[in-house]
Structure 1
Amino acid sequence: MLKLGWDLVWTIINLIVLYLLMKKFLIGPVMGIMEKRKALIASQFDHAKAVQEKADELKGQYEQALSSAKEESAQIIEGAKADAKRMGEGIVKNANLQATKIIETAKNTAEQEKKNAMQGAKSEIAGLAMEAAKKLLSDGSSDKGNHMLYDEFLAKAGDANDTDLH
């Protein structure tokens, strides 16, 4: 049978006191440290989650800004192309107008020179005709003399036309 003695009572009291001391000085502080550590880890996890959300938001803003920048650059390029095309068409149109004016001026100049040459030829022919008439009147009129004057007139008229046209 079991004998209850003072030794057993003192052992039980010692165990209870030891348990209470350990609970107060060892288990309590260790549990407090564990709770603080658990709270610290939870706060760091929440902070990391907030930083991740902020990073995702900034990434979305960056991607949106990048997309709008790409669209804006495409619009700028299209505008520059349209401006260049318009300027090119304007330059070609201006060049065509200038070329038309130059051609028209050249035609007018050629026409004027042609008129001047014809006028010169007419005055030269008139002068030759006057000379021929003077010779006819001064030499008298003979068939041989008339043929000679006629041939001379044609020769001089041909020479005058050749030099005026060149």
Structure 2
Amino acid sequence: MLELNGTIIAVILNFLILLWILARFFYKPLEEIIESRKKLVYDNIDQSEKKLADAEALKNQYELKLRELESKSAQIIEETNISAKKMQEEIIENAKNESANIIASAKKDALIAQREIYLSVKNEIASLIYDATKKILARNVDANANSDIVNEAIQELEKIGMN
């Protein structure tokens, strides 16, 4: 067996004193430094996770707003297309109404012109008949003279009808 001599006891005693000094003056401060570093690392990790969660929430919020804006823009485009179609239909309807009014006005003007021509021709015929009657009464009427006067009146009517 080993003998216990004074040197071994002194070494053991010195070793225990050294352990106590190390534990008292170096281990606690070292442990505090390690704990503070550990806490700092955990705090940084927590902050990073929080920032990551915030960034993810912000990303989701932006994506939602982007979808809303896309939806609104599609709705605005659709409303614009509908409005343009309505406007186009209104313009076409107005053009049809205006052309119908122009046609009706032209028909009315043509009817008025036709009536004026009819009255003019009627007055001309009445004048011719009056002149023919005047000529007939002015002449001594016999069958040949009547025939000549009627033929003259017909020729004058044909001339007027051609003009």
Q: TM-score, normalising length from structure 1?
A: 0.86
Q: Which residue of 1 aligns with 2:155?
A: 155
Q: Distance in 1 between matches of 2:37 and 2:82?
A: 67
Read off the aligned partner of 1:67 and give its amino acid letter: R
2:123 — aligned with what? 123
1:4 to partner: Cα distance: 2.9
- What do residues 69-116 of structure 1 show as CA deviations (whole Å, max 9, x unaligned)? 222222222222222222222222222211111111111111111111
User: Residue 122 of structure 1: CA displacement?
Assistant: 0.9
Say whether residues 1:96 and 2:96 are aligned partners.
yes
Residues 100-119 of structure 1 correspond to what in structure 2 (within 5 A)? 100-119=100-119
Deviation digits for residues 127-164 of structure 1 (CA, Å, limit 9, x no counterpart): 1111112222223223333232222211211222232x
- 2-side partners of 1:98 and 1:25: how far apart? 107
The C-alpha deviation readout for 1:12-57, integer Å capped at 9, x for no partner, is 2222222223333433332222111111111111111111221222
Give the number of equivalent residue pairs: 163
Q: Between the two structures, name the one with larger relative contact order (CA 8 Å, sep ≥ 6).
A: 1
- Amino acid in the other structure paired with 1:57: A
Amino acid at match of 1:96: K
Moved over 4 A (4+): none
Take 2:6 and 2:63, find their aligned partners in 1: how far apart are those partners?
Answer: 82
Query: Which residue of structure 1 lines up, in the alignment, with residue 80 of structure 2?
Result: 80
Q: Distance in 1 between matches of 2:117 and 2:2?
A: 161
| Stretches of structure 1 lacking an aligned partner (at least 5 in a row) | none
Which consecutive unaligned segments of at least 5 residues does structure 2 have?
A: none
Would you say 1:49 and 2:49 are equivalent positions? yes
Local SS of the residue matching 2:4 = coil
Q: Counterpart of 1:16 in structure 2: which amino acid?
A: L
CA distance in 2, matches of 1:107, 1:35: 106
Root mean square deviation of aligned Cα? 1.9
Q: 1:82 to 1:2 in 2, by over 3 A?
A: closer
Question: Structure 2 counterpart of 1:103, which letter?
Answer: I
Partners of 1:5 and 1:105 in 2: CA distance: 143
Distance in 2 between residues matched to 1:4 and 1:61, nearest whole Å = 78
Give % identity: 31
